[in-house]
Amino acid sequence: MKIVNVISAIFLIIAMLAACESQKSTKKSAEETQAAEDASTGTAANTTAAASPDTENPLFTTWTSPFETPPFDRIKNEDFKPAITEGISRHNEEIKVIAENPASPTFANTLEALDRSGLFLDRTRRVMENLLAANTNDTLQAIATDLAPAISQHNDEIYLNPLLFARIKAVYGERNSLSLNPEQRQLLERFYKDFVRAGANLNDTQKARLKEINQELAVLELKFADNVLKDTNAYQLVIDNPADLEGLPPNVIAAAAEAATERGQAGKWVFTLHKPSMIPFLQYSPRRELREKIFKAYINRGNNGNVYDNKSNIARMIALRLEKANLLGYKTWADYVLDDCMAKTPANVYNFLDQIWTPALKRSHEEAAALQQLITAEGHNFKLEAWDWWYYAEKLRKQKYDLDEEMLRPYFKLENVINGAFLLANKLYGLQFIERHDIPVYHPDVKVFEVKEADGTHVGILYTDYFPRASKGAGAWMNAIRDEYKIDGKKVTPLIINCGNFTKPTPDQPSLLTLEEVTSLFHEFGHGLHGLLADCTYLRLTGTNVARDFVELPSQIMENWVTEPEFLKLFARHYQTGEAMPDELVAKVRNSRHFNQGFATVEYMSASYLDMDWHMVTQPVKAGEVMDFEARALARIGLIPEIVVRYRSPYFSHIFAGGYSAGYYSYMWAEVLDADAFEAFKEKGLFDAATARSFRENILSRGGSAEPMELYVKFRGRQPKVEPMLRRRGL
């Protein structure tokens, strides 16, 4: 496909979208420090821990740890149910006061009051949801499943409250005559649309059915995620013959030995389905039958006909989502979801994907042929299979560029990479990151950093949690335990968590990351900055509360700096010698950046198509038809058999448990934005202060306080162009 056609497709979408100074050495007195920390959380105005029926439960008390961080060291599983129950009760009373206010509805007594309601419940839910993702257990999962219907019902009772909606509708009807600033106008627009999309205009019978659907979906999504985690943890490839370790790097063997010891199999080697364990095995093991075994275990998670099988959950969720969309006046779930995103319609998403898919698929055919040639050249007569791709791609990269992952790892010690991310934030925004040891954590792997402006002003708290464990979900993510907002003129500062599942240290070696893991860390750190640097008044609009196909811009742009020689040499230092990555190796990284991009693009985009196809159905799909549906969707786009879709349906947590249904395309759409945005830095300088200030002021700090394209144009001075993304992928 010619580039001009891709550009036309992007422009079509765009046209529719338009509508460190170091910490001061002088220590403050204890009183001054506490005063500063109280001010940062708005303690004086914060009513989240009002009169408590249970002073023994830390979730009911005012948190006295620095910056009102959660007392993770004191919170127990059994604390959540009474706190959530009480939170629902308190929130109901607050909503009742707003909805039944005898005074005429105004922006202040309705919209602002609504935005400020439910703080106690929100605080408790966020802590529980973070633990469910990062440090879960059977008891907590059972409690969450038990609470899910009540939480769902509570949300529905707010959005389907006729008195409350009547007040919002009244203010909305007068919006053109009100003296509202842009952020206030946006809050009014968002809340009105939120209520309409949640069913506020439905009749009583429809509302009753919608509540039932939402409650069932809430439980199913929890069940789906729980099944994926447990099926992932259920598998292990145990090796007891040292000959089967041939080709594996020493650090990979050491990690497998430690994993075996942890599982009571000392003297053996265990490989799991967590990517830091599995991917190196696929890259380096010449034992083809073992590669096939672990790869097939990975791609069949949730599809093994056991207690963790997710096919019935998928079928039920798809049916319920379709019914909900129809109730709300939409033909499909995708139509419903995209109406509130930048892309607006399924046709726009498919058109966007199609134009990139064609050159990417062509490239993947070429790459597969090159790998097959390598197999033949080695004297083998087997056909390239999906479990061979990583192994032969790594060989080909070594052959073409004299580069493999193990050459890079020594320069990517985890601590150095973290410091590199902090250094970048300092160079761009003047931020300082000071490790704190006086703030409770939920697991020993977690570290805590206070974030400050160049002048020492407190910005927020960043928790980092980077190692895999059985109690933690796969992948990488950012959560906010507390969003930034302002109340009574005081700024409440954010509490942000960055999670990952990166290579663990061994007794003989620190955590040494792959380039992909480094990129992932910078990606989530970008989400973290989006939350940390928020400067909004209202909770509904602050931080990452933006359109789903815009939220990846602040994260993905951070990835661009990782392989820029000017920056790479600042943090990529050998873990033993401290020497910067040599120019020759940096050049190899740069020269190979287009290598395997057909695979990477096709693997990702096939998942985007699968997501869209699932949510374009107009009739339910039976549980026994789930895998056939997937096969037809992938055959339709011509996915080659040598590449397996990045997420098969039974473990596609992004869309069945993670809020990205009909939205997984967002990463590619955001890549158009981030590649174009990074060009601004390339034009002015990687660390240009004015460009960084503009990105912070117009993107990072604004949250959802304006329409996404409006914010982007304020930063860039124009709408995005697609050429930078195509160049970056070599397409």
Active site residues: 524
Cα–Cα distance between 716 and 709 in angstroms, integer? 10
- E strand or H helix at 491: strand 490-492
* Helix spans in 438-493 (H): none
CB 517 within 8 A of CB 461: no
Cα–Cα distance between 491 and 627 in angstroms, integer? 50
E strands, 209-339, are 237-239, 269-271
Residue 3 in tokens? 């580039």
Residue 511 CB coordination number (10 Å) = 22
CB 478 within 8 A of CB 531: yes
Cα–Cα distance between 234 and 143 in angstroms, integer? 22
Tell me 410's DSSP state.
G
- Angle of the 346-377 helix axis to the 666-684 helix axis, nearest 10: 80
Specify the long-range contacts of residues 194-198, CB closer than 8 Å, at least 24 apart.
194/159, 194/540, 195/159, 195/165, 195/168, 197/328, 197/336, 197/339, 197/340, 198/155, 198/156, 198/159, 198/160
Amino acid at 661: S
Residue 243 CB coordination number (10 Å) = 7
β-pairing verdict for 477-482 and 490-492 = unpaired
Residue 228 in tokens? 């994926």
SS3 state at 415 = helix
Residue 64 CB coordination number (10 Å) = 12
Of 708, 705, 724, 718, nearest to 186 (Cα)? 705
Tell me 47's DSSP state.
-
Sheet containing strand 447-452, strands side by side: 432-436, 447-452, 458-465, 495-499, 477-482
250 alpha carbon, distance to own chain's centre: 32
Sign of torsion over alpha carbons 437, 441, 444, 446: negative
SS3 state at 448 = strand
Residue 434 in tokens? 């000071």
DSSP per-residue letters across 221-234: HHHHHHHHHHHHHH
Sign of torsion over alpha carbons 307, 309, 310, 316: negative
Q: Residue 72: which region, alpha, beta or left (left: phi > 0; alpha: psi -120 to 50)?
A: alpha
SS3 state at 514 = coil
Cα–Cα distance between 164 and 47 in angstroms, integer? 22
SS3 state at 567 = helix
Residue 176, classified by CB atoms within 10 Å of its CB into exposed (0-12), middle (13-18) or buried (19+), is exposed
Q: How many CA atoms lie within 13 A of 43 on its CB side?
A: 16
Cα–Cα distance between 661 and 318 in angstroms, integer? 10
Amino acid at 293: K
Tell me 379's DSSP state.
T
β-pairing verdict for 458-465 and 495-499 = parallel
Residue 29 CB coordination number (10 Å) = 8
